[in-house]
Amino acid sequence: MTPQNLPEALNTYSYISKHHGQGNDFIIAQEGSTVFEELNSSKQSEFQKSVAQICNRETGIEIGGVKGADGFIQLFDVGNVNPEEKMSDKTRDKNREIFFTLFNADGSFAEVSGNGLRCAGQALARRANQTEIEYKVLAKFKGEVTSTYNIYVKNGTSEISDSRVEFGSLKIQYIDNTRNKNNSMQPLIDIMQNVLSDSLPNISSNSPSSNSALSDSYAMFRVDVGNPHLVFLTQGLEEMGDTSESAEKFEKTARRISEEYQKAGLGEVNIEFVEVLGATSNDGVNSNDGASKNLKIRMKVFERGVGVTQACGSGAVASVAVINSVGLTNIGVFSSVHSKATKPFLRLIKGTLNEVDVVMDGGTATVYFENEVYSLSGPVHFTGKIL
Is 75:135 a contact under the CB 8 Å cutoff? Answer: no
Question: For the chain, percent helix, then strand, then coil, each to nearest 5?
Answer: 25, 35, 40
Provide mean pLDDT across the span 42-55: 93
Provide mean pLDDT across the span 331-344: 30
Using 50, 70 and 90 to split pLDDT, how confident is the model at 2? Answer: low
Query: Taking 70 as the threshold, does the pLDDT of residue 336 lie above it?
Result: no
Query: Taking 50 as the threshold, does the pLDDT of residue 55 lie above it?
Result: yes
Walk me through the domains of the chain, giving residue ranges and CATH numbers. Answer: 3-168 (3.10.310.10), 171-371 (3.10.310.10)
State residue 177's pLDDT score: 62
**Contacts for 66 with CB less than 8 Å, ≥ 6 apart:** 25, 383
* Conformation bin of residue 230: beta by default, left when phi > 0, alpha when psi is -120 to 50: beta
Q: pLDDT per residue over 193-235, tens digit each?
A: 777 666 655 554 433 333 333 334 577 888 999 899 999 888 7
Query: Taking 90 as the threshold, does the pLDDT of residue 344 lie above it?
Result: no
Which secondary-structure segment (H or E) carries 324? helix 313-325
More confident residue, 350 or 120: 120
Using 50, 70 and 90 to split pLDDT, how confident is the model at 21? Answer: very high
Mean pLDDT score of the chain: 78
Which secondary-structure segment (H or E) carries 368? strand 363-370
Which secondary-structure segment (H or E) carries 319? helix 313-325
How many C-beta atoms lie closer than 10 Å to residue 97's C-beta? 14
More confident residue, 2 or 117: 117
d(CA 153, CA 167): 15
DSSP for 26-88, written as a single string: EEEEES-S--GGGS-HHHHHHHHHHHHHHH-TTTS-EETTEE--SEEEEEEETT---TTSPPP
Q: pLDDT per residue over 56-89, tens digit each?
A: 999 999 988 899 999 999 998 876 544 444 444 4
pLDDT cut 70: percent of the chain above it:
72
d(CA 154, CA 158): 9
pLDDT cut 90: percent of the chain above it:
41
- Predicted structure pTM score: 0.80
Is 21:115 a contact under the CB 8 Å cutoff? Answer: yes
d(CA 124, CA 161): 12
- Three-class secondary structure assignment of 277-310: EEEEECCCCEECCCCEEEEEEEEEEEECCCEEEC
State residue 292's pLDDT score: 46
More confident residue, 171 or 73: 73
**At 379, is the secondary structure helix, strand, or coil?**
strand
Q: pLDDT per residue over 242-262, tens digit each?
A: 677 778 888 888 898 898 888
Query: Taking 60 as the threshold, does the pLDDT of residue 287 lie above it?
Result: no
Query: Taking 50 as the threshold, does the pLDDT of residue 108 lie above it?
Result: yes
More confident residue, 239 or 15: 15
State residue 316's pLDDT score: 95
State residue 75's pLDDT score: 93
